[in-house]
Chain A
Amino acid sequence: MGEPGRTRSGRSALRILASYAVLGVFSLIALFPVLQIVTISLRPADRLLSTSLEVIPKDASLANYIALFTERPFFLWLANSTLVALVVTFTGVALASTCGYAFSRYAFTGKRIGLLGLLVTQMFPATMLLLPMYIMLVMLHLINTYLGIVIMYSATALPFCIWQMKGYYDTIPTSLEEAGRIDGCNQFQAFQRIILPLAAPALVITALFSFMTAWTEYVVAAQILQDTDMWTLPLGLKSFESNMGSEWGLYGAASVIVTIPVVILFLSLSRWLVSGLTLGSVKG
C-alpha cells in the first residue's frame, strides 16, 4: 500500500500475462478442429481411424487428395459448385445493388411494406420457403436442375443483400449525386459513376455473402440435386462422411479444398466485414 506505483505496474504485468494466456488458449480451441481436418486428410488409408492425437500423422501422404481427383467425380462437383456460386453471386449483386439504391434514395409506392418485408423474411424458419418452393419446383419439373438450385439460393440470400446494400447507401451523403447532377450527369450516370464505386465495400460483402451461401449450402441442395453428376461440393463431402470408416480421408481432403478459398476470402475481407457489420449486416 505504501508504494502504489509499484504494485500497480506489477499488477498490470500480471494482467497482460494472463491476457496472452487467455488469447493463446482460445486461439488453440479455435484452431484445433481446423487442424483435425488437415490431419484426417493426410492419413494413409490403413490408418484412417486412429487413436493418436498427432497433428501430422505417421506416414503422412497426399494419397487422399490424388484419389479425390482421379477416382471420384470431385472435379465435376467443383465445377458444378463454381457455376452455381458464380450465377448466384452475379444475380445477387446485380439485383441488390440497384434495388438497395432505390430503397435508400427514392420514395415510391410499396417502399415501406417492402422494407418491412425484407426484415420479416429474416424470421422465416428454413422450411418456410423451402417447402413451398420445393413443391413448386416439382410441379415445374425443375428438381435436379441448376436453375432450381439457383432460384432456391436467391430466395435465401437476396432479401438480406438488398437490406445490406440499402444500409450502406444510407451512409453516403446525397450531396455527392447532387454535385454530379450539376456537373451534367443524369440520374443513372450519377449512380453508376459516383455512388457505385463508393459502395465497393458493401458490394464486396454482398458478393461474399452470396458466394458463401451457394458454395457451402447442404440442406437445400440435398432436396434439389439428386444425381451424383449434378451434385455440388457439400453433397459430395457429406457422402464421404457417411462412410466414416472407409472414406474419412477423402472427407478430410475435400474439406480442406472447400475450406481454403472461403477462409482466405473471409480473412482478407474481414476488415470490410467489420464496417459492414456495424451497420447491422452479416454473413448468415
Chain B
Amino acid sequence: MTGRSLRQKLFVAALVVPAFVVLFGVVVYPFFYNLVISFSNMSLRHIRDWRLIGLGQYIRVFTEPSQPNFYSVFVKTVIWTAVNIFFHVLIGVFLALVLNQKEIRGKAFFRALLVLPWAVPQLIVALTWRGMFNYEYGAINLILTQWFGLPAVQWLKQPFEAFCAVIITNVWLGFPFMMVIALGALQSIPRELYEAADMDGASWHHKLRHITVPLIRPVMVPAITLGTIWTFNNLNIVWLVSNAGEPSDQTHLLVSFVYKAAFNFYRYGYGAALSIVIFFILLAFSLTFMRQSKAAENVYG
C-alpha cells in the first residue's frame, strides 16, 4: 500500500515538477521581483546601484502632473474597454443569431469569412489599419471621398480621431471571438424550446428575452470577463495603430502608458508600480463582475 502511494507521489511529481520549475522562473520570481522594483528607484541610471525608497513610485503614479496623467489615461482605458466590449458583444451576438437561422445556406462559407479578423495576426491588423487611416492614400478616406462624397478625415493627427481609429480597428478585430462563442452557445439550445414558444404564439423579442438570452448567458459571462481583461490589457493595437501614442501621447491606454515609461523612458521603478496598480484594478473588476453575474444567475434560477 505504501509502495503504491509512493509510486503515485513520484508520478505526480514527474508530471508537475517540470512545469512548476519553469513557472517559478518565468512567472513567480519575476512577479515578486517586479514588486521589489516597484518600491525602488531603479532606472537606466540606477540599474545596478538601486535602493528601496518605499512608496515613492506609487505616490508618483497617482500624483505626477505628467501630460497625460494617470487619471485621464485611466478614464480613456475604461471608455476604450466599454465601447469595444459593447460593440464586440452586440455585433457578435447579432451575427450569430443571423447565422444560426435554419434557412440560411452557406453557413460554413460566411462563418469562415466572418472569422477572418480574428485569424489575421494582430500586428498585421494594426499596421494595415494604420495604413488604411492614412490621410491621402488610406482606403478609409478614399471610400469616404470617392463613394460617399464626404470630406477626408485627419485620422491619426488629432487626439479624438486617433482614439476613434484605434477603437474602430479593435472593434473589427474583436467581434468574431464573441460571434464564435455565441454561435456555440446558440447551437446548444434545443430547437423544441422555440417550437413550443411558436405554438404559444410568442413574438420574436419574447423568444429572445425568455429563451435565447438566459440560455446563452452562462457561456457569454466568462467570455465577456475574459474579453474585458484582454481588451483592457491590449497593448498591440493601441501601440501600433497610434505609433506609440501619437499625437503627442494623447492616444494611450494604461498598458501602453507603462510600456512607454518602462522601455522608452527607462523608468523601471515607476513602470513596475504602475503595473501593480493596473493588476489590482483588473483583479477588483474580475472579482466584482464574477460575483455580480453569479448573483444575477441565481435570480434567473
List chain A positions with a Cβ less than 8 A from chain B.
12, 15-16, 19-20, 22-23, 26-27, 29-34, 36-37, 40, 49-51, 53, 91, 94-96, 98-99, 101-102, 106, 108, 114, 117, 120-136, 138, 151-152, 154-155, 158-159, 162, 187-188, 212, 215-219, 223, 234, 237-238, 241, 244, 248, 251, 255, 258-259, 262-263, 266-267, 270, 273-275, 277-278, 280, 282-284
Stretch at the interface among B20-28, B58-66, B67-75, B157-165: B20-28
- The complex places the Cα of A50 from the Cα of B123 at a distance, in Å, of 23
B272 A131 Cβ-Cβ under 8 A: yes
Q: CA of A134 to CA of B266 in the docked complex: distance in angstroms?
A: 11
- Known: A53-B146, A125-B279, A277-B180; 20 extra A-B contacts, CB below 8 A, are A30-B114, A34-B116, A36-B132, A37-B128, A106-B12, A120-B283, A123-B229, A124-B233, A127-B262, A131-B262, A138-B47, A158-B19, A159-B23, A187-B11, A218-B123, A237-B127, A241-B127, A270-B115, A275-B184, A278-B185
Contacts of B125 in A (CB 8 A): 33
Whether the pair B131, A36 counts as a contact (CB closer than 8 A) is: yes
Bound CA–CA A108/B9 (angstroms): 8
Instruction: Name which residue of chain B comes closest to A255, CB basis.
Output: B124
Residues of A within 8 Å of B263, CB to CB, are 134, 223
* Chain A residue contacts of B16, Cβ below 8 A: 98-99, 102, 108
Other-chain contact of B131, A117, A248, A282 (Cβ < 8 Å): A248
If A127-B258, A131-B37 touch, whether A33 touches B132 (CB-CB below 8 Å) is yes
B212 interfacial contact with A, CB 8 Å: no
Q: Which residues of B contact A27 (CB under 8 A)?
A: 110, 113-114
A122/B226 in contact, CB under 8 A: yes
Report the minimal beta-carbon distance from A189 to chain B, rounded to whole angstroms: 11
Instruction: Give A219 to B262 CA distance when docked, in angstroms.
Output: 12
A158 to B285, CA, bound (A): 24
Q: Annotate B51-88 by CB proximity to A: 1 below 8 A, 0 otherwise.
A: 00000000000000000000000000000000000000
Contact status B235-A158, CB under 8 Å: no
Asked if B137 lies at the interface with its beta carbon under 8 angstroms from chain A, I say yes
The smallest C-beta distance from B217 to any residue of chain A, in angstroms, reads 14
**19 pairs, A vs B, C-beta closer than 8 Å:** A36-B131, A53-B139, A95-B19, A114-B20, A123-B229, A123-B283, A123-B286, A128-B276, A128-B278, A129-B34, A134-B262, A135-B42, A216-B121, A241-B131, A244-B131, A259-B121, A263-B116, A274-B180, A278-B219
B119 touches A262 (CB 8 A): yes
Majority-rule SS of B interface residues: helix
Contacts of B268 on A, CB cut-off 8 Å?
Answer: 131, 135
B104 adjacent to chain A (CB < 8 Å): yes
Distance A125 CA – B259 CA, assembled complex (angstroms) = 10
Please, how many angstroms separate the alpha-carbon atoms of A212 and B236 in the complex?
14
Q: Given A19-B98, A19-B104, A123-B279 in contact, is the A133-B255 Cβ separation under 8 Å?
A: no
Q: Which residues of A contact B116 (CB under 8 A)?
A: 30-31, 34, 263
CB < 8 Å neighbour of A128 from B114, B139, B239, B275 = B275
The answer on a CB contact under 8 Å between B30 and A36 is no
Question: Which B residues lie within 8 Å of A218 (CB)?
Answer: 123, 236, 240
Contact of B33 among A33, A132, A237 (CB under 8 A): A132
Query: B7: which A residues are within 8 A, CB to CB?
Result: 187
Chain A nearest CB: distance from B240 CB in Å?
7
Q: Let me know if A162 and B275 touch, CB within 8 A.
A: no
A99 — nearest CB in chain B belongs to which residue?
Answer: B19
Contacts A23-B104, A101-B15: A284 and B230 contacting too (C-beta < 8 A)? yes
Question: Is the pair A126, B33 in contact by a Cβ cutoff of 8 Å?
Answer: no
Minimum CB distance partner of B11 in chain A: A187
A159 to B42, CA, bound (A): 28
Q: How far is the CA of A138 from the CA of B263 in the complex (A)?
A: 13
Q: Which residues of A contact B104 (CB under 8 A)?
A: 16, 19-20, 23
Within the assembled complex, what's the spacing in Å between the Cα atoms of A106 and B12? Answer: 7
| A102:B123 contact, CB within 8 angstroms | no
Set of chain A residues within 8 Å of B295, measured between Cβ atoms: none
List A contacts of B245 (CB < 8 A).
Answer: none
Given the complex of chains A and B, what is the CA–CA distance between A270 and B109 in angstroms? Answer: 13
For residue B251, give the distance in angstroms from its CB to the closest CB of chain A: 16
Cα of A66 to Cα of B133 in the assembled complex, Å: 28
Nearest CB of B to A119, in Å: 9
